[in-house]
Structure 1
Amino acid sequence: MNKELARMANQPLKVLLISGNENHKWHNWEENTPLIQEALQSDNDIEVTVSLDIEVLAGDLDGFDVLAFNYCNWHDPTELSEQAKANVIGFAEQGKGIVILHFANGAFNFSLPEAGASDWPEYRRIVPRVWNHHGESAHDEYGTFTVRMLDESHPITQSIATFDIQDELYFKQEGDVDIHPLYAAVSNLTKQEEPLAWTSGYRNSRVYQTLLGHDRHAYAVPEVRETLRRAVRWVARKL
C-alpha cells in the first residue's frame, strides 16, 4: 500500500447528514439529528457533519464518504439546484455511499403538499421505496412493534436479535428498484410482514434505506443504533 492509500485508510469515515425542513418538525428531526450524530460518532472511526441546508449538496462533496438524508422538503416547492442534483449523481458515480432515513423517502416527490417545481424523478431511482401521498402509502398508528431480521447473514444485520421499538411502521412504499430486505415487522393494519430496511444500488453507489426513526425513542434502541453504524460502514465499503 502506498503512502497516500495508507493515509486515506487511516482517515475517519466522513458522513454529511442533511436534516430538515422547518415546515416538517413533527417528524422530530431537530430532536433526532443530534441523536443520529451521536449514535454514529460513538464509533471513533466515523465523523459526522450536519447541515440544515439542502443546498449544501451544491458545494464540494469530495471530502465526504457518505450522504445521509434525514430531510423532506415539506411545503417547499423550491427545486433543488442543477448543481446539487449533478453533485449527488456524481457522488454516486464515484461509488460513495447513500443512506436514507425514515421520512426522507418522501422528499422531492410530486405528491408532496405544494410540491411545485421540487419534484425530482431521479430521486426515485436513488431511493428505492418512496412515500406517495397520492397513493396507498401509510403507516400504523404510532406504537410498539417487534422487528425481525430477514437476512441474518448480511453484515448490517448479522448477530442482531429480534427487537421491540416504539415507532411508525410504514407500509406500501412505492418503487420498482430491486432491493434486498434486511428486517421487517407485522403491520396491525395490513396484517402482513412489512419490510422496514433494505439495501440497493444506484449507479456505482451502495444505498441503505430504513423506514425506522420517527423520534428519540427509535434512536434509543441499541439495535437501531448498531445497524445504522454498520450501514454507514457498509455503504462506504468499509464493512
Structure 2
Amino acid sequence: MKSLAPLAALCLLLAGCTDRQDDSQTRSDAPNDAVKRVVIVTGIDYPGHHWQQTAPALAKVLRADARLDVTVVEDPGFLASPQLRQYDAAVLHFMDWESPDPGPAARGGLQRFVRAGKGLMIVHFGCGAFQEWDEFVKIAGRVWDPNLRGHDPHGSFDVAITDADHPITKGMASFETTDELYTCLAGETPIHILATARSKVDDLDYPIAFVLDYGKGRVFHCVLGHDVPAVENPGAAALFRRGAAWTARLAP
C-alpha cells in the first residue's frame, strides 16, 4: 500500500495557500526577510461606520509600505484562531456595537498574541472592540466610554504632532484632516502621546495617536479613520502605515 504522507503534505500546502484572501499577496518588491505579515480584523461596527469600504482603504494604505504583507479578515472571531500566530501584527478595525464581542477565546487569543511580543494597531472605533472586557483598557491604553461625549461634529481640524522624535512620527509635520475628533476615550493606563487635536467644542486637547507596551508587544492606537477620505488623508495614512510598521518591529 502506498504511503499517504506526500498527499497529506500537499493538502497542507494547499490549505496554507488558500487561507489568505486573493488581494493580500506578499509584495514582490520587498526583500523576503523584511516582509512582516499584518492582519486587519474587521466585520462588525457601529452602523455609521462602513467597514466594507474603510477596511480595503486601510489595507491599501498599509500596502504602500512594500514590507507589509496585509490580509483582511472579516470576522473578529479570527482572534481566537491559532492562525493568528502566523502574523507579526494585528489591526483592530471593528467595534462591539449592539452585538457581543468575539468572546472569551478571542480575548485570550488577542491577549496572548500581544503579550508574547506581537504588534497591535487600533483604528478609530476599534477603541470599543471589547466593551465587556476590563483587560482591554490595559492593552489599548484608552477605550470608548459611552458616558462621555463621543466626538466633535464631523469636520476639519488640525492634528498636532507632539513627539517629533518617536520612530512613528519622526520627521512628520502636523496636518489638517476632516474626520471625527474623538473625545470619548477613558482609562488610566500609562500611554505615550504622539499626536493631539484641539476640540472646537470645549477647546481642550485630546489624544489622537499614542503608543504603549503590553507584555512584550507594541501597541499603536490612532482614533482617526471615520471614512475612506479620512483613512486616505496623507497625514493620517502616514500615521497608520508608520504605526503598523513600528508595531511589527520594522523601522517606519
* TM class, shorter-length: 0.7 to 0.9
Q: Which runs of 5+ in 1 are unaligned?
A: 1-7, 110-118
- Determine which of 28, 53, 66 is the counterpart of 1:44: 66
Note the 1:1-239 alignment, pairs <5 A.
10=33, 12-21=35-44, 24-60=46-82, 61-77=84-100, 80-109=102-131, 119-133=132-146, 135-239=147-251
Deviation at 1:82, TM superposition (A): 3.1
Contact 1:137 1:174 (C-alpha < 8 Å) held by counterparts: no
Deviation at 1:220, TM superposition (A): 2.1
Q: Which runs of 5+ in 2 are unaligned?
A: 1-30
Identity %: 33
Count of matched residue positions in the alignment of Structure 1 and Structure 2? 220
Amino acid at match of 1:12: V
SS of the residue 1:188 aligns to: coil
Report Cα offsets for 1:147-168 as digits up to 9, x if no partner. Answer: 1110011111111112110000
Distance 1:204 1:153 in 2: 22
Deviation at 1:93, TM superposition (A): 2.4
Distance 1:93 1:195 in 2: 24
Distance 1:64 1:233 in 2: 13
Instruction: State TM-score, norm by structure 2.
Output: 0.83
Deviation at 1:11, TM superposition (A): 5.1
Contact 2:163 2:193 (C-alpha < 8 Å) held by counterparts: yes
Report Cα offsets for 1:36-79 as digits up to 9, x if no partner. Answer: 000111111111111111111111222100010000121103x5
Instruction: State TM-score, norm by structure 1.
Output: 0.87
CA-atom RMSD in angstroms: 1.6
Deviation at 1:9, TM superposition (A): 6.8
Amino acid at match of 2:86: G
SS of the residue 2:98 aligns to: coil
Of structures 1 and 2, the larger Rg is shown by 2
SS of the residue 1:103 aligns to: helix
SS of the residue 1:27 aligns to: coil
Contact 2:92 2:129 (C-alpha < 8 Å) held by counterparts: no
